[in-house]
Structure 1
Amino acid sequence: MTTAPAPLPLIALTMGDGAGIGPEVIVPAVLHPDTLARCRPVVIGDAERLRQAARILGVDCAVVSVPTPTEAEFTPGRINVVDLGLLPADLPWGALSPAAGNAAYAYVERAAGLAVNGEVQAICTAPLNKEALHAAGHLYPGHTELLAHLTGVEEVSMMLSTPKVKVIHVTTHIGLIDAVNRIEPGLVERTVRRGHQAMVRAGVPEPVIGVCGINPHAGENGLFGYGEEEEKIVPALEVLRRDGIDARGPLPADTAFFLAARGDYDLVVAMYHDQGHGPVKVLGIEAGVNLTVGLPVIRTSVDHGTAFDIAGTGKAEAGSMIEALRQASEMATAPVN
């Protein structure tokens, strides 16, 4: 007697800021045959905005409203959407809108609820605009912090994944001075552990992890900075190594990313936002994916913003969204050790 294959994972795909390129990358990504072969994506968003995006792209498809993801049907040329209907019909493309910011929040809120309740196996997010989010009264720095709040988690990490390099951040959306002040051995240790767990789940059983320093040349043995590496990073690495985690450093960031790009490290730990984001955007933003590590649910996202400058023109590339859906699908079906 043959066993029926397990159903493909249901993924809640939030539409992001409706004034940005989210709708335009979602339409081709959801219809892509590779996506349909891996998962069952259901958009949490605005059906009419998706229809507008499809017309801009010249794509012939059926955008169908469904009450819940479990009631969606999956056939070629069909896009299922849980339609919250929050956007005005005449919302301009490429312009800051509190209405779009409020809708983007509502999409994520609904998706988080579905994931926590087990109605979907993962969340994939299109970009939101932080200024629009704040203009609507939702004072979160970004998706990472918003999802942590919605799922009741105190601390999570942002990981960026590209074909050439993967990086996890100790701090993200705060000023540089605040980031240096916030970094301490416990936070470094917890971040590296989350990264290690994510890599093991992704199929790398013994990841080699390069940990960046804070100062140029990782302090150059005290020549630069005030001993931040010895105070804030080295104690964490000593604990991690005793536990069998291969965490190397502190490393000069420029060296760490060069070595990671040639394959020496499976993961790089960046101390602050731009230390990690800059190299990733040079080395592979087109296929880059943003993952939130430490949530009770799986979440992936495109590694780009709302791109207001090209929104509504049909110029946006869907490659990062296709990759984000692929990684969400793989993580949703991977065994948890």
Structure 2
Amino acid sequence: MVNHSSPGGFLLLGFSEHPRLEKILFVVVLCSYLITLLGNTLILLLSTLDPRLHSPMYFFLSNLSFLDLCFTTTCVPQMLVNLWGPTKTISFLGCSVQLFIFLILGTTECVLLAVMAFDRYVAVCQPLHYATIIHPRLCWQLAAVAWISGLAESVVQTPTTLRLPFCPHHQVDNFVCEAPALIRLSCGDTTYIEIQMAVASVFILLVPLSLILVSYGAIARAVLRISSAKGRRKAFGTCSSHLIVVTLFYSTVLAVSLQPRNPYAKERGKFFGLFYAVGNPTLNPLIYTLRNKEVKRAFWRLLQKGAESN
């Protein structure tokens, strides 16, 4: 599918009016990307190689790590090129691929975080039946639901967005080709696609968020019923990492989505969008590795095995 209104691709403006800021952001984004690659690859390796991490919680965590790797690899290399040099263009095909993958991964993450909240709910509220309820087949089914939901949303939303009549200047006021920025670039009527996105947001954002809140409401009640302080800390510890990740994810998504339409809010929205694209995938593995004793133990076991083999 070719949109003849954009034969030369697009210009990703980013912070092009602040060249010094772009050089600082280049270093920050590069370091964040390297940490993202290292941290998420490490989680994938540990979840695969260490038998003690062959549990539903780490199965879903490895899905999240794979998702973060795909997300950053899709946008960060292009972002680094644009931040460092004067050329800030992206081809129509490249923009289309970015948009398609962003929609898949963004939707998948929303559903996956809800699935992980359900997993934590069963672990805390139904610990004796956890292995029976969250069995391997269900894990694969829930992960498939998350990824298929993302694919379905992208298949519907991407063609509709790319068929918009874009303005001749082709200037996308963002770092990446994401749907809201491309819709703002349109010189035609965008009422239909805005309604479509609003309806999709209810199912993509609000429904998973509601399920997460219900799960954590039940978890909080169960934790408060535990008599010992040690037991409460242990129960809360099984959920704290996921809760922090959920809070960061939805805070940045809502901050980007609910920005008022004025120049100051637009600049602030770019920083929120940058944090969503770069910061969250960087922090997720750090949160799970630094706060999770099992992951740290698995890491040391892997190092010991490597030392013994040498």
- TM-score scaled by length of structure 2: 0.29
The structure whose residues are more often helix, as a share, is: 2
The structure whose residues are more often strand, as a share, is: 1
- TM-score scaled by length of structure 1: 0.27
Q: Relative contact order: is structure 1 or structure 2 higher (C-alpha 8 Å, sep ≥ 6)?
A: 2
